[in-house]
Structure 1
Amino acid sequence: MGWARRIELVTVVVAAVVAVVGLWYSNVQTMQAHEQAQQANSQAQEDRALAKEGQITDRYTAAVGNLGEDKMDVRLGGIYALQRIMQDSRRDQPTIANVLATYIRTHAAKPAAEGQGIPADLQAAFTVLVGRDVTHDGTFRVDLHGAKLPGLDSTGTGETAIDLRGADLRGTDLRGAQLSGANLLGANLDGADLRDANLNAADLREGRLRVTDLRRTDLGSADLRGTELRGAGLRGAFLGGVDLSDTDLSGADLRDVKGLTRAQIDAMRGN
C-alpha cells in the first residue's frame, strides 16, 4: 500500500474519530441542557407551589378572622371564603369542615330568641358544611351535638346531597328542620329533638335515635333499616313507605302514627 493510500486512510480514521467525539460532546451538552431545564422547571414548580400555599394560608387566616367580626355580612364573607378554599385545596377540607362545625356548635349553643329563626351565618355554615365533597374528608366526621338549630332549612344546598353520614347529632335541636333526602347513614341522633321535622326519603340506616323525639315528623319513604329507635317518641309521625326491616323500636311510642302497615310491623324488631 502506497504512502498516499495510507495517508488517506489515516485521514478518514481521524475524521471519523473527530465526528464521534463531536457527537458525544454534543450529546453531553444536550443532556446537560436538558437536566438544567428540568431543574429549572422543578424549581419553578416548587416556587409556584410555595406561592400558592402562602396565598391559601393568607386567605384562610383572613377568612377565619372574619368569622369573629360583629357584622353579619363580614361573617358570611368569611364562611363563603372558606368554602372556596375548601374547593381549591382538597387537603385543607377536613380542617375547614371542622372549623365550620365548631362555629355552628359554639354559636348555636343557646336557642334563638323567641320568634327568631336561625341566623343567616349559621344557616350558611351548615349549607357549606353538608354540601362539601365527602371524598376529601379523611377521618373527619360532622360534630353538631347539642346545637340548637330549630327550623334549619337545607333547601339552600340545591341539588347537592345533604351529607351527614356518621354525624354526631346527639341532643341536637332540629325541630321543624327541612332535611328531606338527607344522608344520615350511621348518624347518632340519640336524644335529639326532631319534632315536626321533614325527613322524607332520608337515609337513616344503622343510625341511633334512642329516646329521640320524632313526634309529628315526616319520615315518609325514609330508610330505617337496622336503626335503633328504642324509646323514641313517634306519636303522630308519618311512616308511609318507610323501610323498617330489622329496626329496633323497643319501647317506642307509636300512638297515632300514620301510614304504618302490617308488613312494616312484621319487619321491625321490638314490641
Structure 2
Amino acid sequence: MDWARRIELFTVVVAAVVAVVGLWYSNVQTRQANEQARDDRALAKEGQITDRYTAAVGNLGEDKMDVRLGGIYALQRIMQDSHRDQPTIANVLATYIRTHAAKPPAKGQDVAADVQAAFTVLAARDTTRDGTFLLDLHGAKLPNVTLVLGDSEAALDKANLSGADLSRAYLPDAKLRGTSLSGTNLRDANLSGADLSRAFLPDAKLRDADLPDAKMRDAYLREADLRGADLSDANLLGADLFGADLNGADLSGADLRGADMVKGQTDSSITDSDTQLPWEPR
C-alpha cells in the first residue's frame, strides 16, 4: 500500500473516531442538560408547594370562615399533589380540629363548618401515604359531625378518638379498625355497617346508637353503655362485652360466639332465632 493510500485511510479512521467522540460528548451534554432541567423543574415545583403550603396554613388563622375553608381545601389539594407532605398536613389539620373543637358547640348548633371540613378531609385521605402518622382527635367535641364520602369509606383506622364527643354523628360504613374510643360519646350515632374490628371501646357511650351490620369482631367493649343500641346482624365474634349494659339492645341476628360475657347479660335484650350467643353453640 502506498503512502497516499495509508494517509487517506488514516484520515478516514481519525475522522470516524472524532465523529464518535463528538456524538458521545453531545449525548453527555444533552443528558446533563436534561437532568439539570429536571432538577430545576423539581426545585420549582417544591418552591411552589412550599408557597402554597405557607399561604394555606396562613389562611387557617384568618377570622373569616370562607378564608379558613379555602385554606383547608388548599391543604387537601397539596396532600394529593405531594404525597410526602401528607403526614405533615394531616397533623396540622388534626391539631386544628383539637384546637377549634376543644369545647362543644353552642346549644342547638352543629360543628362549625371549618371543623367539619377538616374532619372530612382527614377521613377521605389515602392512608397508604400516612407514613408514621396516626390520627389523634382525642377529646374533640364533634357532635352531629357527618361524613358522606360517596363510594369511599371514612378512614379512621387506629385513630385516637378517646374521650371525644361523637354523639349523633353520621358515620355509616366508617373504617374504625383498631381505633381507640375509650369513654367516647357515641350516643345516637349512626355507625351502620361500620368496621370496628379490634376497636378499643371501654366505657364507651353507645346508648341508642345505630350499629346494624357493624363489624365488631374482637372489639373491647367492657363496661360500655349499649342500652337501646341497634346491633342487629352485627358481627361480635370474640368481642369482650364483660360488664357491658345491653338492656334493650337489639341483638336480632347478631353473632356473639366466643364473646366474653356472662349468662343473663342479654336477658333484657332483643334476640331472635338467628341470634348466636356464646353459651348456645350451633
TM-score band by shorter chain is: over 0.9
Alpha-carbon distance in 2 for matches of 1:199, 1:69: 34
1:251 aligns with 2:243: yes
Of the candidates 199, 202, 219, which is equivalent to residue 194 of structure 2? 202
Alpha-carbon distance in 2 for matches of 1:169, 1:111: 15
- 5+ residue gaps, structure 2: 263-282
3-state DSSP of counterpart to 2:255: helix
Alpha-carbon distance in 2 for matches of 1:15, 1:22: 11
1:159 aligns with 2:151: yes
Deviation at 1:20? 1.2
Alpha-carbon distance in 2 for matches of 1:82, 1:265: 43
Q: Deviations over 1:208-257 (max 9, x none)?
A: 00000000001100111111000000000011111111000000000001
Deviation at 1:160? 2.2
Match of 2:56 in 1: 63
Alpha-carbon distance in 2 for matches of 1:246, 1:229: 11
Match of 1:235 in 2: 227
4+ aligned runs moved over 3 Å, structure 1: none
Q: Deviations over 1:133-165 (max 9, x none)?
A: 11111011110000000000001x222220000
Report 1:53-202 matches (<5 A).
53-155=46-148, 157-202=149-194
Alpha-carbon distance in 1 for matches of 2:53, 2:251: 49
Higher helix share: 1
Deviation at 1:40? 1.0
One-letter amino acid matched to 2:137: L
Report 1:39-54 matches (<5 A).
39-54=32-47
Deviation at 1:51? 0.8
Match of 1:224 in 2: 216
Of the candidates 242, 248, 259, which is equivalent to residue 268 of structure 1? 259
**How many correspondences in the alignment?**
262
TM-score (norm. length: structure 1): 0.94
Alpha-carbon distance in 2 for matches of 1:45, 1:139: 29
Q: Deviations over 1:171-199 (max 9, x none)?
A: 00000000100000100000000000011
Alpha-carbon distance in 2 for matches of 1:141, 1:43: 37
